[in-house]
Amino acid sequence: MKDNYKYTDFLPYIIFAVLIVIALIVMEPIVGVLALLVMLYILYITFDKIKNKNKKTVEYIENLNEKFDSLTKKAIFDMPFPLVVTDEKAKIIWYNTPFANLFSEDSVMEKDLENLIDEVEVSTIIDSDGKNTIPITINSRHFSVYTNVVDGNSTESEKNVLLYFVDNTAYSSLQKQYLDESPITAKIEVDNFSEAMDSAPKEVRPLLIAEIDSTIRSYFEEYDALVRKADDELYLVIMPYKALLAIKEKRFDILDDLRDLNKGNTIPITLSIGVSSHGLNFKDSYVEAESSLDLALGRGGDQAVVKVDDNYEFFGGKSKAVEKRNKVKARVIGEALRQLIDRSEDVYIMGHKNPDMDAIGAAIGCLRATINRGKEGYIVLEKSNPSIDNLIERMQEEEPDLYKRVVKKDTAINNIKHSSLLIIVDNHKPSFTECPELLKETSQIVVIDHHRRGKEFVENPVLTYVEPYASSTCELITEMLTYMSDDLNLTHFEADALMSGIVVDTKNFSFQTGVRTFEAASILKRAGANMLKVKSLFQDDLDTLLYKAEVIHNTDIIHDNIAVSTFEKKAKNSVLVAAQAADALLDINGIDASFVLTINEGRTHISGRSRGEVVSVQLILEKIGGGGHLNMAGAQLDTTDLEAAKKTLIGAIEDYLEENKIEEEK
């Protein structure tokens, strides 16, 4: 409906009437004149009424605007939720009573809103044109702050900012209650139950079992959790999310409680705990907890793994992995691998980028297993590096047929088939493999590794053998070879290659060495391994020795027991120098851990070593995306700025030490 009428709105009707009047005047002059007079009178009356109507409409609108202004002002002043107006500099120029009631001050006029409310930044609100909503908390009350930017009337300020405070306290409380009560599933396994029982006198074993059960139950029931024993060494726990938060705050101190339990057992009792994330149904929560438990066990046990969105949080993991005394798993895995090789058309084997003696030695062992089954096998190696140059040169001289089976990445990508078997050794992270593209070419993937399992893992492998207790992957491969065929058929070179992998990862049988390490070494000795030839594989040239001396000379000691150094020279063997220098730094009296940083192929490589008693280099380097063992780990950073990388490393060290300090205080 129109508020005002215009004369032009009636123009078509007027023209039509004029035409009729003209026609009447032509045909009947008298009638036409009378019609003209009538038409003029009607026009006069119509235009007069239009004029009066428009005048009344204007008066009505003006009156309505005055009423609307009055209603708007009244609505704003009487608004039940807090409202405040500031200038561009965040100075308060107007506020209502509910806003003033939020603060204890008598008056907030002309005060800086940003000083009153930390979450508010007026400049950011103006830049976003007031389109953002700001969540804030004042005196335990939760608000959603809606903003609006308007042109100011003051000559001192170009824009004013209007903020509306909508109280969401009830919703936030309900949301928190829902989250706090969200069910969490945890699976707990006493990962060395049999070993601990065997180490205790028979008469105290029932008491030890009861004490383990009582400790676990009482710990979780304190947090209103439901605990059910599924087996002698397995428990299922259902608890609210707020209980998990409290347990995380204490960093799963039940791990320490069980480790300290002593009822005549000489082997400490350790737990592996897998915990699901919140917001899942019970079935999915159970599956997720089981997956987290598998990850905890794969990392060596004595730790808790909590699923958080698409990531994991780790607690504990400070103990060395317990060596299992039976070889059932090695036999089962060996037989399973033999069957997979038999069913495959051909086999491709690869380790990690910049492979070391353990990776290439394990690959040579897997290649021997493949040849023993009468299948074609290949080792994927793009190029040699100083860590393995001596071994590759010796292969080329002594085993030319074997050397021909070493292929580059492009060759492997072009020739691998969907029916091929891909074996990954000394690594379980897809991004760290020699050729990640191969993982997409076949669904038959086997993972054999001795490093503690990290967040990243090969997706859906058909066979997984990750044993952190083992000294090296070469140890695992040597054990498996004894179950895969009656005759190992190892050449002297292959025996030396496998032995070199064990030697390098155990630092000449001094670190991470167990009974089965020596058993594997004895198998290789019987197969013809020559320790003099193995030792010659580790000989360095003069430049390497000088580089190591330079790294040691430039070492910084932090916290009195951690050595950190950098190798800044550009050398093809920079990663090898860093690793060897990190080993050498442990020979300094009082040093419990060492880290050496160097640049190679556009990335910063960090080699970490420790004695494994006081400092875990694995837990430190995991904080920056690396991994490994307690006493030997590594990481790579996407930067060539050594100083920045060093600061990142030191930050991870500080975080680790702070976490351990908190745990010790508790």
Average pLDDT in the 26-51 region?
Answer: 79
Average pLDDT in the 204-214 region?
Answer: 90
Regarding whether 207 and 143 lie in a shared domain, the answer is no
Regarding whether 451 and 557 lie in a shared domain, the answer is no
Q: How many whole angstroms separate alpha carbon 556 and alpha carbon 568?
A: 15
Regarding whether 395 and 455 lie in a shared domain, the answer is yes
Contact of 549 with 516, CB cutoff 8 Å: no
Regarding whether 478 and 374 lie in a shared domain, the answer is yes
Nearest residue to 272 via CA among 286, 285, 287, 259: 259
Structure tokens, 577 = 């120098």
Regarding whether 87 and 61 lie in a shared domain, the answer is no
Domain stops at, among 117, 145, 175: 175
Question: Looking at residue 310, which CATH number applies to its domain?
Answer: 3.30.70.270
In a domain, 211, yes or no: yes
Burial label for 311, CB within 10 Å (0-12, 13-18, 19+), is exposed
- Highest mean pLDDT among 6-15, 189-198, 405-414 belongs to 405-414
Average the pLDDT over each of 205-214, 237-246, 415-424, 657-666 and give the range with the smallest value: 657-666
One-letter amino acid of 302: D
Q: What's the total number of domains in the chain? A: 5
pLDDT tens track for 545-603: 888 899 999 899 998 899 999 998 888 788 888 988 998 999 898 899 999 999 988 88
Domain that holds residue 192: 184-316
Question: Looking at residue 555, which CATH number applies to its domain?
Answer: 3.10.310.30
Phi, psi of 636 (to 5 degrees): -130, 135
Regarding whether 499 and 371 lie in a shared domain, the answer is yes
In a domain, 652, yes or no: yes
SS3 content of the chain, % helix, strand, coil (to 5): 45, 20, 30
Confidence of residue 325 (pLDDT cuts 50, 70, 90): very low
- Highest mean pLDDT among 41-55, 390-404, 527-541 belongs to 390-404
pLDDT tens track for 139-149: 888 898 888 88
Regarding whether 459 and 333 lie in a shared domain, the answer is yes
Nearest residue to 426 via CA among 368, 370, 504, 373: 504
Regarding whether 299 and 154 lie in a shared domain, the answer is no
Q: What's the mean pLDDT when you consider all of the chain?
A: 86
Regarding whether 288 and 268 lie in a shared domain, the answer is yes
**Separation in Å, CA 50 to CA 4, 57, 60, 64, 486:** 8, 10, 15, 21, 114
pLDDT tens track for 353-385: 889 999 999 999 999 999 999 999 999 999 988
Residue found by looking up tokens 């309505």 in the block: 64
Regarding whether 557 and 436 lie in a shared domain, the answer is no
Question: Looking at residue 146, which CATH number applies to its domain?
Answer: 3.30.450.20
One-letter amino acid of 483: Y
In a domain, 322, yes or no: no
In a domain, 336, yes or no: yes
Domain stops at, among 296, 316, 336: 316
Contact of 609 with 632, CB cutoff 8 Å: yes
In a domain, 323, yes or no: no
Domain stops at, among 468, 501, 536: 536
End-to-end CA separation in angstroms for the chain: 78
Regarding whether 546 and 510 lie in a shared domain, the answer is no
In a domain, 225, yes or no: yes
In a domain, 321, yes or no: no
Question: Looking at residue 456, which CATH number applies to its domain?
Answer: 3.90.1640.10
Regarding whether 504 and 386 lie in a shared domain, the answer is yes
